[in-house]
Structure 1
């Protein structure tokens, strides 16, 4: 009888229930990075073509930098958020409290999106608009404006105020997603489902790291 292949051994290992919570953090980071690339790359490309300055090489560098920043920031936020959720649950006899998502979102938003840069501002304002829109009843359950060329230069004014704003925005949207998901814009909900729920499921190494499903 032949011995199991390396891939079979790895798949058996990553499907063990005792490793699920930790591997879901890994897949969450993967999904965050992939989603960031999908969202930022076409935006940075179009903005560079329409409004960019400089030669082709400098524009390509700007597109790459903006895409990398957006993707890494989402990957970091998902990692911090899911890690803090797990930590809080472990400290509370493996039970999740209502405030856990708010606290994890608050800390993650502060660490990752607290600095006021052009890319962070775009992301936070987008999320904030969705938070505000969640309160609307639904019929069913400078010289270089921010973002042009995908720049990520710091914007000095009201830095501390923006940090508080960003932290609260992420705290609120994560709480809404967990406890009042029906109030969130459908497009935003689909994005969050990909980042925070789909990353909890896989059936082997391929769907853990390469394909979402």
Structure 2
């Protein structure tokens, strides 16, 4: 048993290449497995540094508690992304095999189903990911509508007006209806716009933020 394990460890690349070659005709299954791997790696790369900064800046607790929170958020992001990519590639590949060709609706149906089951739980990580995608698809759909001539192509730059509208609405909501905003956004904007109005002397004007060591 130990000899077999040592043989596999020493020849893992040779064995792996053999298996990839043997099952090369099942590319969609292999792509799903590779998607599982990429989901874990990408989720960790994206979430860990973000959680590290946000938790240490804005959350209370001991060092151990903060690291436990960081690891929990990273695990949630990585596992959800891995499950989604794996399942999406599997369903999309299966639909292509079933219909015998690639159709645009395959992508939507596969992602719709797994979006419900993987990212449908209302937690902090899923909320952030879904909101991130929502902003991107809104811009993407507007560009697609212009490309397909559903709407006329703007003759002047519209990005400044887009920025003005976004910032006007978010500050209006924050100043007058703060409770409807996401908690992490509330914390960030409180630090920037409300706590910047509080000081008792030069020490907590320049070196510290009120009574917080920030």
TM-score using structure 1 length: 0.61
Residue of structure 1 in register with 2:30 after alignment: 23
| SS at 1:115 equivalent | coil
Residue of structure 2 in register with 1:133 after alignment: 139
Asked whether the 8 Å contact 1:51–1:148 carries over to 2, the reply is no
Distance 1:19 1:65 in 2: 35
**1:122 maps to 2:128:** yes
* Structure with more helix by fraction: 2
Please identify runs of 4+ aligned residues in structure 1 that moved more than 4 A.
146-149
**1:10 maps to 2:48:** no
Which is greater in Rg?
A: 2
CA RMSD of aligned residues (A): 2.7
Residue of structure 1 in register with 2:67 after alignment: 60
Q: Which has the higher contact order (CA 8 A, sep 6+)?
A: 1
**1:69 maps to 2:76:** yes
TM-score using structure 2 length: 0.60
**Quick one: which of 67, 85, 89 aligns to 1:82?**
89
Q: How many residues align?
A: 143
Distance 1:116 1:15 in 2: 41
Residue of structure 2 in register with 1:145 after alignment: 183
Once the two structures are superposed, residues 12-71 of structure 1 have per-residue CA deviations (whole angstroms, 9 ceiling, x without a partner) of 221342232211111101101111111100110001111121101100100000000000
- Show structure 2 runs of 5+ residues with no match: 1-10, 148-178, 188-214
Given the superposition, is the C-alpha separation of residues 13 and 148 from structure 1 closer, same or farther in structure 2, using an over 3 Å criterion?
Answer: farther
| SS at 1:135 equivalent | helix
